[in-house]
A and B are shown apart, each in its own frame.
Chain A
Amino acid sequence: SQQGEEDPQALSIQEGENATMNCSYKTSINNLQWYRQNSGRGLVHLILIRSNEREKHSGRLRVTLDTSKKSSSLLITASRAADTASYFCATVANQAGTALIFGKGTTLSVSS
């Protein structure tokens, strides 16, 4: 079964607004990653947050992690039409961390 579950499944906003998507996972993790997928393309790594971190920033991206609630959130500030994509969280598939499993993703649509 999939480790991460994103919420909401779909999100539509206007340019300039902030977009927040959430991820819940089931087991203990060393780190959690977020990936982005443009339509018809492969996934691209966005950001990684370690289990001992509570918040991490990268440009317009802000990721939080709450290990007590087994949840993470990805915030995209000042969204642009180019942010339109699907976003996935990923956690380790095994104890060795040699493979990842993904949630079902949040599809973000940013209109201008």
Chain B
Amino acid sequence: NAGVTQTPKFQVLKTGQSMTLQCAQDMNHEYMSWYRQDPGMGLRLIHYSVGAGITDQGEVPNGYNVSRSTTEDFPLRLLSAAPSQTSVYFCASSYLRSSGANVLTFGAGSRLTVL
């Protein structure tokens, strides 16, 4: 199994450009989420989804859009990139176990630089 696949691995944008970070999982997980990681800040939750057609905001949602049309895919869109969005982005998927635990499987990350 591939697990969680993120593309692209690296991207350079100019301020104001738009782009989509792709995330796909092949584990039939219900839940998917996007995080950004900045030096000294740990991981911060951007958006998450509990199933197809259902998304919700995390800690830092401004400047990002998401949609979940299928169980497998959860793309993250930057409509007008800003230098403050320079970061490493991680996608994760999971399911709620019968014990109530929600254990995440992460992708390898996408490094975005906005000039």
Contact = CB atoms under 8 A, between A and B. Distances in A.
B107 to A, nearest CB: 6
A42 B25 CA distance: 14
A104 B42 contact: yes
Contacts, number: 79
B100 interface: yes
Contacts of A60: none
A89 to B, nearest CB: 10
B108 A42 contact: yes
B100 A97 contact: yes
Given A43-B90, A98-B96, A93 B104 contact: no
Contacts of A40: 109
B104 A98 contact: no
Contacts of B109: 40-42
A94 B49 CA distance: 12
Closest 3 CB pairs of A and B: A42-B106, A104-B42, A99-B48
